[in-house]
Structure 1
Amino acid sequence: MSQQTHWVPTSVDLEKASAARMYDYLLGGNHNFAVDRDFIQQLMRLQPEIKRYALTNRSFMRRAVLYLMDQGIRQFLDLGSGIPTVGNVHEIAQAVDPTSRVVYVDNEHVAVAHSQLLLEDNENAAMVHADITKPLLVLQDPVTRKLLDFDQPIGVLAVTIGHYILDEQDPEGVYAAYRDAVAPGSYLTITHLTDDYLKVDELAEAMTRSQNRIAARTRDQVRAFFGDFELVEPGLVTTSRWRPERPEDVQPGKEDGLYAGVARKN
């Protein structure tokens, strides 16, 4: 295909859309392909709010990281981090404190290749190429262990990734492994697609034609992923309702399609 460029690994599947590349496109990034852009157009015909959901989710992530910085967190484990479009975790955190350390984890080849290129001169941030549904591989990776001190609080970010963990992959067990691995005072941040406010059956069916399937979940199901961690105010709400910076950011009577929450390990 003519889309091959110097930043595209030869192992990339250019025949099927990728969730990481589609998200990059929705956020205005340029590390995506025609197959991803065409697929997004198909999804938007099924759910016109997709772009808004992506933008409110990204805005939530920024607020959550800044909240964690205010709580003294200076190291982050970003699960399913995707392609480093503008406004990534290390940019937010290191703008506040340049010594903040960030480990990104993803298994999408473009995300990994571009992240490694972007971070090669940043001694406090790195990318681990791994499947987040195999927590031991992530947690025991030498890069993870080099950058993160698990005896000190860590901000674990699972933003827009949980709905890609299918039931047969034991999502509760996956989240539990990461919760168990971090010290008291750590935080877990989650956003997750829900079908409480919109029908996602057609979206889920469409995603079977991409590289990634999805599983939307209810509020109670998402809440369970936090285990016994204590949710901070305002609890588990939709993305734009989590500590909005401006009242106009919340549209009355209009919920986002993703739940969002931040919880602390006591």
Structure 2
Amino acid sequence: MKNLLKTFILGLIVMLVLNITSPAFANQAAYLPLKPLDDLSSVEKQTITTHLEEFKLDTTKNSEKLSHANKQIAMKSLKNIDKNLIYADIVNGEKNIILGTDNKDIFVAITDEIIDVVERVGEFDFLINGELNHFEVTISDDPVGEQKLSGYEYSVMAAPWIYKSEKTINVNAQRNFATYTAAVLGGILGTYLGPALGFAAYGVIATSLGVGAAYTYIAASDYPTNVGQSVVKTYRDGNYPTSRYRFISRHYAVYKGARYYLDTTTTYHSPCTGCGV
């Protein structure tokens, strides 16, 4: 269980990818995050780079699920990694990678030796390797007053973080969370959380990958369900255009009518490249 919790951080990032009524990964230049590999160690960067360079589409665990057309999309995306790499991370030894494509409604998700081509075809409908999947996602503002960080939170950070907002995200997937990879689920959820938090692009992908991983691994392990809930609090270390964002997210599985706490993840976003974490 403890090892599974480590993968949780991946699922919440891609959530900030696109506008809820806009094509997937639209306006990518609007709110650029740090470069996709900047937060990784040199060893992790090399691991991701090598994995992509050596990735063989025909030897993946699910290659038979991809149509000829989707294989062509995936191969084209893999051939131009410098242009298409949106996000990559390694948690608990698992590689999670998101690649863009020439079509703003389509992205490629890689989780170790599994590759999926995901296309948004409706407000709540996505084709995953050609199979239609429906996701009901609602996001609400919580009427919470000014909140302060705990003494512990202040002790581990140099900046004075200012509370900005709190959102509750309810997710009802068509299938059990265990049937989705973290990269796929995180990417899909990213299409909803981005505009809810005020980002038109993929600036906070790490946050949505955290949600996806939590549901895919932790919930699937202990609470086999297709219903989840996340509460995301947003903080900033100032009110300037370059001020950083800090997202504290608590994740729950909804199982047999009850809500079960999974874990808490913390992610950061810098509105401009080179401005810090």
Give the TM-score of the pair, scaled to structure 1: 0.26
The structure where strand makes up a greater share of residues is 2
More helix by share: 1
Higher relative contact order (CA 8 A, sep 6+): 2
